[in-house]
Structure 1
C-alpha cells in the first residue's frame, strides 16, 4: 500500500471539525478509563469484603480480564477489519455497561456469587479486546497522519491521569456508597463514552475491506505482517519484553512497600500512584521528544535514559529513602508510556489500513500475553529470593528489553517510517 492514497484519505476525511471529533474521543476515553481504574479497586474489594474470596480466587479474578486476549486476540483483529470500527466500539461499551450493572442488581437480589464476578471480569475483558482493536483503527480516521503522535500522547496522558485518580476515587466511593453500588459508576462511564462516540461527525470513510476469506488465512496475514516486517517485529518484541518486566514489578511493589519497608496504608496509595503520575508526564512529553529528536532516536533515547532509573526503586528504605522509590517509578513509568506513544503512532501510520485491525490485535495479543507470565514470574521470584532482589531483577529486565530495538533496524535512523515501501 503506497503512501499517497493514505494521505489522500486523511486529507479528505479530516476536513470536518477534526479537533471537535478528537476532543469527543478524548473525553469519552478518559472517562471510561477512569471508571475502569475505579473498578480495579472496587471489584477486588467486593470479592474480599462481600464474598470473602480466598487468595487463590483473588489471583484468578486478577487474571480474568486478560485471559480473553489469549483466546480472542488474534481472531478479533480479522473480525474488526471486516466491520466499521465505531459500531464495534458502541456495542462493546453497551456490553461492558450491562456487565457492571448486573453486579449490584444481583447483589440487591441477594444472589451475587464469586462466579458472577469472574464472569463479569471475563466478559468485560472480551469486550475490551474488540474495543481496543477497533479503537486503534478508528483514530487514524479522525486525525491526519501527521497528528497521530500528538493525539496519541494526549490520549495516553488522559489514560495515566485516570490511573492516578481512580484508586483514590474508588476508595472514597467504597467508604461513602459501598463497593457494590459504586460499580454503577463504571457503567455510567461507558455510557459517557458511547455518547461521545455518537456525537462524532465527519470522520474519514473507512477503506473498503478486502473480499472475505477463511478466518484462519486473515489471522495469518496479521501474524505474517508482524513477524515479517523488521520494524513492526522490533517494536512488538520490545513491547512484549517491557510488559513482562513491568508486570513483574507491579506484582511485587506492594509486597515490597508493605512487608519490606513497613509502609502504612495511608502512604501506600500515593506511592503506587507515582507510577501513574510518571505516565502522565511521559505521555505529555512524547510528542515533543519525537519532534525534536526524531521518532526512532526518541524511542532509543527514552528507553536507555528512563529505564535505568527503575534501579533506584530497590534502594528505597523507610523515611526519606522512600524518595528512591518515588524517583525511580516516576521516571521509569514516564519512559514506558512515552515509548508506547511513539510505537502506537508508528503502527497506525505505517500499517496498511486494511490490515490495521489484525496487526493491532496481533501485537496486543503478543504484548498482553506476557503480562500474566510476568506477574507469575515476579511473584515466584519474590517467594524464592525476596521482594527487594526481585525488584533488581525485573528493573534490569526492563533495561534489557531495549535489546530488541538495538538488534532491529532502528539504529542510526532519525525517524521511523511513516508508511511501508511499495513492493515492486
Structure 2
C-alpha cells in the first residue's frame, strides 16, 4: 500500500475501526428506515391523528429522560463494546415484533408506542457506550478524524436510507419495511462481536453507589462552564428540532400529498446535506475553530428550514428540501466539533457519565417537543408548527454562542 493511499485511509487501516465503521453504516441504515417507516405505520396503517403521532414521537425519544442519568453510571461500570452488542441485538428483536404483530392483526398504537419506548431506552445505552468507546478505540489525538469518518458514514446512510425506505415502504408496506431495520441492527451487533479491541473491565473500587456516581457525572457536566453551555444550547435546539420533525411527515404526506417515494427523496436530500457536512467538518473546524463552529453552524443553516412551511405541491417542495439539506449540513459540522470538544475535556472514567448527562439534559425535552408538536399541529396546523420549529432552532445559536465565549476563557488542554 502506497504512503498516499495509507494516508487517505487513515483510521480505516485499523481493522477494529473498519468493523465499527461498517457496523455504524448498517445500524444507521436500519435506523433511517425506522425514522420513515415507524410514523408511517401510525399514519397510514393505524390512521393515527396528529396528537397520536406526537405521542409516538415522545415515546420514541423518552428513553433519555427516563433512564439517561443512571445509564451513564451503569455503562461506566461495564465494557462499552458489550453494551453496544447487547443493545443492537435486542433492538433488532423489538423492531421484528412490529411486522409480526401486524401480520397477526394485533398491532395497535399502544403496541407501537411501547416498542418505540423500549427501542429508545436501548438506544440511550447504545449511544452512551458508543461515544465512550470511540476514544478508547482511536485514541484522543485522533478524535476529530474518527468522529468525522463516522459522521461521514452516517451521512451516506442518511442519503441511502430514505431512498431505500421510500420505495420499500411503497412496495411492501411500512410494517414489513421494519424487517430491514431489524436485519440492519442485528448485522451491526454481529460485526461488533468481531472487534478485538476490548477495554479492561472497569475496576469496582470497593462498594459503588449508583446515586453517588450519577451525581458525580451530573456535577462534572453542570459545573464545567464549556460543557454546561453546550448542553443548554443543545437542549433548546433539540426541543424545537423534534417539534419540527413531528409535523414534517404529516405535512409532507397529508398537506402536500407526497407519497412514500417522494418523502423518501426529500429525506435523502437531508442526507446529501449531512454527507457534505461530514466532508467539510474537519476543514471548517480547523479554519474557524471548534468554538465558533458550534454556534455559527445553526445560525447559518437553521433559518432555511422555514421554507418548508410555505411549500406547496410542485417546485417549491424542491426549494424547501434544500433548506432541510442545509439543516443537516450544519448539524453534522457542529456535532463533529462539539463531540470532539466534549470528549477531549472529559477523563476516561467519566466518559459514559458525561455522555449520559449531556444527553439527559439536552435530550430530556425531546418528548416534550414531540407532544408540543402534536398539540401545535392539532391547533394551528402542521405548516405553522414547522415555522415555530425553524425559529426556535435558529435562536438556539444564541445559547450555543455562550459556549464559544466560555471557551475563550478556559484552558482546553486535552485530558489524558
After TM superposition, the score normalised by the length of structure 1 is: 0.84
Hey, what's the Cα distance between the residues in 2 that align with 1:297 and 1:127? Answer: 33
Asked if the contact 1:297/1:414 (under 8 Å) is kept, the reply is no
Identify the residue that residue 9 of structure 1 maps to in structure 2. Answer: none
Do 1:310 and 1:395's aligned partners in 2 also have CA atoms closer than 8 Å? yes
| Residue matched to 1:364 | 359
The reply on whether 1:352 has 2:347 as its aligned counterpart is: yes
The DSSP-based 3-state class of the residue aligned with 1:222 is helix
1:88 aligns with 2:83: yes
Q: Which of 220, 226, 236 is residue 231 of structure 2 equivalent to? A: 236
- Which of the numbers 22, 27, 33 marks the counterpart of 1:27? 22
Label 1:33 to 1:215 Cα distance change in 2 as closer, same or farther (>3 A).
Answer: same
Match of 1:4 in 2: none
CA RMSD of aligned residues (A): 3.2
- SS of residue matched to 1:286: helix
Give yes or no for contact 2:51–2:375 (8 Å, CA) kept in 1: no
Describe the shift of the 1:383–1:377 C-alpha distance in structure 2 as closer, same or farther (beyond 3 A).
Answer: same
Given the alignment, which residue of 335, 360, 372 partners 1:340? 335
Tell me if structure 1 keeps the 8 A contact 2:79–2:199: no
Structure 1 residues 356-365 or 262-271, which shifts more?
262-271
1: CA distance, partners of 2:378 / 2:112: 28
Unpaired runs of 5+ in structure 2?
1-9
Please state if 1:76 is matched with 2:71.
yes
Aligned residue among 263, 271, 277 for 1:276: 271
Asked if the contact 1:16–1:202 (Cα under 8 Å) also holds between the matched residues in 2, the reply is: no
- Indicate conservation of the 8 Å contact 1:294/1:414, yes or no: no
Q: Show the counterpart of 1:117.
A: 112
Q: CA deviation at 1:393?
A: 3.3
Instruction: For 2:108 and 2:250, locate their aligned partners in 1 and report how far apart those are by CA, in whole Å.
Output: 28
1:373 is aligned, of 363, 368, 372, to 368
Assess, with a 3 A threshold, how the Cα gap between structure 1 residues 202 and 333 changes in structure 2: closer, same or farther: closer
Q: What is the CA distance between 1:155 and its match in structure 2?
A: 1.8
Once the two structures are superposed, what CA deviation does each residue of 1:99-154 show, in whole Å capped at 9, x if it has no partner? 23334445555555544433322222221111111111111111121221222122
Query: Whole-Å Cα distance in 2 between the matches of residues 366 and 293 of structure 1?
Result: 27
**Distance of 1:281 and 1:415 partners within structure 2:** 31
- 2:193 is equivalent to residue 198 of structure 1: yes
Matches within 5 A, 1:372-411: 372-385=367-380, 387-408=382-403, 410=405
Q: CA deviation at 1:44?
A: 3.9
In 2, the alpha carbon distance for the partners of 1:50 and 1:381 equals 23
User: After the TM superposition, which of the residue ranges 399-408 and 281-290 deviates more from structure 2?
Assistant: 399-408
Selected match of 1:149 from 144, 147, 152? 144
> For residues 22 and 312 of structure 1, do their structure 2 counterparts lie closer, same or farther at Cα, with a shift above 3 Å needed?
same
Question: Structure 1: where are the runs of 5+ without partners?
Answer: 1-14
CA contact (8 A) 1:210 1:354 kept: no
Match of 1:161 among 156, 160, 175: 156
1:101 and 2:96 matched: yes
Q: Are 2:220 and 1:187 equivalent residues in the alignment?
A: no
Q: State the secondary structure of the residue aligned to 1:351.
A: coil
Aligned runs of 1:286-301 on 2, under 5 Å?
286-301=281-296
Aligned residues: 406
The answer to which of 227-236 and 145-154 deviates more is: 145-154
Summarize the Cα distance change of 1:382–1:179 in structure 2 as closer, same or farther, 3 Å threshold. Answer: closer
Counterpart of 1:223 in structure 2 is 218
TM superposition score normalised by structure 2: 0.85
* 2:35 matches 1:40: yes
Distance 1:178 1:149, change over 3 A: same
1:246 alignment partner in structure 2: 241
CA distance in 1, matches of 2:227, 2:333: 17
